[in-house]
């Protein structure tokens, strides 16, 4: 990948559901090391965009590129293998597995010598060490043997991030990482994402304006499935059309 090649490129992507246009000619580029926020009113197409990028939904037209390689039409597992990790708006975890086992699944998937029925999990020291490293990275090292279902909702959100990181992505997509959590948990997650952004490129969907202002260097605003504006939080806050359709006419305070 050359220095001029975006890590992620979405090019004129359109997605129809029958006669409904959920995305219309969406184009955006995300560079390596960036923290990009995707914002917009309910129904703007934010999660649909994520689903198209990760292969959960096929495009009607257009293309998506990761590190300069076209990934349009590939399965989600193949796109994951190529370096993309993702969390969901509603947590997608293995409720009956422990924290250790939940993270281990992804670590094993990327292992050069993955587990098989005649191999003891305990013998896979490198993989076990990686699980503990990821748990410590997200603050769950003291809960490795807790079942996921018994964690607080905030810790479940954090576990899902660790699971996404377990496949060693170069790009991490976070769909509303603070939805439904307490203010204290939201602050914990914000701090975690800031720390992760030093090592990995992040694109996130978030409704909290305070959250994206504190975290994101650039924002893409969607409205009715189309890109309404792009720029820094300062630029977006002063965009007349953005303020009209999304911010209620107010200018954010920085």
The model's confidence at residue 254, banded by pLDDT at 50, 70 and 90, is very low
**How many domains does one find in the chain?**
1
Assigned domain for 251 exists: no
Global pTM value:
0.88
The residue count for the chain: 254
The pLDDT value given to residue 247: 60
Assigned domain for 50 exists: yes
Assigned domain for 254 exists: no
β-sheet bridge partners, residue 216: none
Assigned domain for 101 exists: yes
In the structure encoding, which two tokens stand for residue 154, read together? 């905030």
The model's confidence at residue 1, banded by pLDDT at 50, 70 and 90, is low
Assigned domain for 41 exists: yes
The pLDDT value given to residue 249: 53
Assigned domain for 91 exists: yes
Q: What is the CATH number of the domain that holds 222?
A: 3.40.50.300
In the structure encoding, which two tokens stand for residue 43, read together? 């129904």
Assigned domain for 203 exists: yes
**Domain limits at 84?**
8-245
Q: Which long-range contacts (CB under 8 A, 24 or more apart) does 141-146 make?
A: 143/99, 144/98, 144/99, 144/100, 145/98, 145/99, 145/100, 146/98, 146/99
Assigned domain for 172 exists: yes
């Amino acid at each position: 990948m050359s220095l001029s090649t975006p890590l992620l490129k979405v090019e004129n992507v359109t997605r129809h559901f029958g006669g409904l246009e959920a995305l219309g000619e969406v184009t955006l580029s995300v560079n390596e090391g960036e923290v990009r926020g995707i914002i917009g009113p309910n129904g703007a197409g934010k999660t649909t965009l994520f689903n198209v990028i990760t292969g959960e939904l096929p495009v009607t037209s257009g293309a998506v590129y990761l590190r300069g390689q076209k990934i349009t039409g590939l399965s989600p597992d193949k796109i994951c293998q190529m370096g993309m990790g993702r969390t969901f708006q509603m947590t997608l975890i293995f409720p009956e597995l422990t924290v250790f086992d939940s993270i281990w699944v992804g670590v094993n998937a990327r292992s050069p010598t993955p587990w098989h029925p005649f191999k003891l999990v305990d013998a896979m020291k490198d993989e076990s060490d990686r699980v503990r490293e990821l748990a410590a990275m997200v603050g769950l090292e003291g809960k490795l043997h807790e079942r996921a279902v018994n964690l607080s909702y905030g810790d479940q959100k954090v576990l899902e991030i660790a699971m996404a990181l377990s496949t060693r992505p170069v790009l991490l997509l976070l769909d509303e990482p603070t939805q439904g959590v307490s203010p204290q948990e939201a602050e914990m997650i914000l701090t975690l994402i800031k720390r992760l952004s030093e090592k990995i490129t992040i694109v996130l969907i978030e409704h909290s304006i305070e959250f994206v202002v504190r975290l994101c260097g650039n924002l893409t605003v969607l409205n009715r499935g189309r890109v309404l504006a792009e720029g820094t939080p300062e630029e977006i806050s002063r965009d007349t059309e953005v303020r009209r359709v999304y911010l209620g006419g107010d200018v954010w305070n920085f």
